[in-house]
Amino acid sequence: MSERASARPPAPILALAALGVAFFVLPFVGLLWRLPWTSLGGVVSRGPVRSALWLSIRCSLAATAFATIVGVPLAWVLARVDFPGRRVVRALCTLSMVLPPVVAGVALFFSFGRAGLFGQYLDRWLGITLPFTTWGVVMAQTFVAMPFLVLTVEASLRQFDTRYEDAARTLGASRWYAFRHVTLPAIRPGLVAGGVLAWARALGEFGATITFAGNFPGTTQTMPMLTYLALQTRPEEALILSLVLIVVSFAVLVGLRERWLGGAADPGLA
């Protein structure tokens, strides 16, 4: 406790931390160094680039929305309801987070593809096909991104003292009112963090998307896919596409910095 006065971290810690920073920063330095800045405007205004970017943003936002609508109740059930097999259910619901993305794509393909176990009925009875459509992209992205939101929200709910909710109920609030005005503001940092993680994961999704939804400009060709194809024959373009994705992601992260670091320590104080 006497070191509090100097407040200087020990050298080995500093060294390792510096290594960590270098590990994260140097790849971006390399990318920015090799970027053909003069072609930036030309590439960004190309039709396929804009449609890929617009598609990526639309689909990732839709995936995040679905993840929130379904994920928050799921997180609530996992946090508050004690049922047999809860651990297994939680593991299954978050499995797609640790799976290699292409494995997730394979699973979706064989279940919901046109010849898939469930997909064949969707196709036959309802005329719905998911592969090669934008909805297929949203589905693949939701599948891999939702666990982030579920886990983060569940953790926030667990930390939140239910006695605040009970107090609101005894004062006459309905369950929904109590949730909306007492619980939700308290878990908001966790919810936002989970939402951002889910959105970022959805935006960067590649393996599951290309396996399940395919690749077609305007319908299913997302930014990561366009970047991958560009790298093969037009590496300068791949650099610029990468920069666009980095800028978009960075803007979101910086914009939400306050919420990210803002404490959830005091529930009830929005």
Residues in touch with another protein (CB under 8 A): 109, 113-115, 131-132, 210, 213-217, 220-221, 228-233, 235
Residue 12 beta carbon to another protein: minimum distance, rounded to whole angstroms: 15
Q: Which residues contact 122 (CB under 8 A, 6 or more apart)?
A: 112, 128, 129, 130
Asked if 92 contacts 146 with a C-beta cutoff of 8 angstroms, the reply is no
- Least Å distance between CB 129 and another protein? 8
Q: Report phi then psi at 82, rounded to 5.
A: -95, 105
Q: Which is nearer to another protein, 192 or 229 (CB)?
A: 229
CA distance 180 to 107: 36
198 vs 230, beta carbon nearer another protein: 230
Closest to another protein by CB, 116 vs 267, is 116
Q: Distance between CA 172 and CA 85 in Å, rounded? A: 34
Taking the complex as a whole, the smallest distance from the CB of residue 105 to another protein amounts, in Å, to 11
CB atoms within 10 A of CB 154: 25
Q: What is the DSSP letter of 113?
A: S
Task: Give whichever of 61 and 106 is closer to another protein, judged by the CB atom.
Answer: 106
Vertex 228: Cα angle to 222 and 229 (nearest 5): 90
Q: Report the residue number, 75 or 213, with the smaller CB distance to another protein.
A: 213
Question: How far apart are alpha carbons 195 and 189 in whole angstroms?
Answer: 10
Query: Minimum distance between the CB of residue 114 and another protein, rounded to whole angstroms?
Result: 5
What minimum distance in Å lies between the beta carbon of 218 and another protein?
Answer: 11
